[in-house]
Amino acid sequence: MMEPVRSRKRPTPGPMTELRIRPADISEASDADRRIIDFTDLPAEIHLLISKQLIYPDALSLKHTSSYFYYLVDTGVRLKVEWLMERRMLHLECPNDRRCDLGSDLRFCRGSVPLLMQRRREHMECESRPGLGCLVYGTPVCSHRRKISARCRRWLRRRLTVELWWLLIALIPVALCWLWMGEVIVLVSKSVGGSAKAGTGWLAR
């Protein structure tokens, strides 16, 4: 008779008040809980700790996923400078703008900064040097390596900027000129050879 009274005084139900659930039901309930809980259900303290471990491109992506993370994630000057210093130490390409404005994300993400972020996100810079590994996941080997043809296409897409396209267009007439000069040289050499043969034949007579 005393057991129900003790169970009512407990902050959590005791063994006597727990429902009899089969192991299969427990596994199904735990599976349902695992499916419902995701990253956004974690406490704000854990979100803040995770955001402090991210570099600038990842922190910026997380910041713009929702209004909640927009006000939680810090992408200030310190994070921008750390990202630039890390790229410099890894001998990676840095923003080629003479004036890099660190005041806000909008002013900072101008020029070549979005292109650098896209190249990192698409694993273009991974294993660009021996021992560099994957820059996205931090593993010794990048699992997103493409085939040689795909890597060549990505390299061309990365390098063929507007200025380089104009340079290639300007080189087309030069290449055609060289081909024309080669044809002229071949024709001249043939005509000179034919005239030389005719001269030797006339002398032989």
The predicted-structure confidence for 124-160, as pLDDT tens digits, reads as follows 888 888 888 888 888 888 887 655 446 666 666 665 5
Q: 32 or 38, which is more confident?
A: 38
- In terms of average pLDDT, the best of 40-44, 152-156, 180-184 is 40-44
Contacts of 60 (CB under 8 A, 6+ apart): 75, 105, 109, 117
- Model pLDDT, residue 106: 86
Contacts of 48 (CB under 8 A, 6+ apart): 72
Rg (CA), the chain: 34
CB 133 within 8 A of CB 141: yes
> Which tokens in the block code for residue 196?
């030389």
CB 80 within 8 A of CB 93: no
Cβ-based neighbour number of residue 105 at 10 Å: 16
Longest CA span, the chain? 143
- Model pLDDT, residue 114: 86
Contacts of 126 (CB under 8 A, 6+ apart): 132, 133, 134, 135, 136, 142, 144, 145
Q: Find, among 61, 67, 113, the residue nearest to 92 by Cα.
A: 113
CB 117 within 8 A of CB 57: yes
pLDDT tens digit sequence for 60-110: 999 999 999 999 999 999 999 999 999 989 888 888 666 677 888 888 887
How is the chain split into domains, by residue range? Answer: 22-107, 122-159, 161-205
- In terms of average pLDDT, the best of 12-21, 89-98, 129-138, 191-200 is 129-138
Q: Percent of the chain having pLDDT more than 70? A: 64
Q: 3 or 36, which is more confident?
A: 36
Sign for the CA dihedral angle at 183, 184, 188, 191 comes to positive
Res 13 pLDDT > 50: no
Q: What is the mean pLDDT of residues 2-13?
A: 40
Q: What is the mean pLDDT of residues 56-62?
A: 93
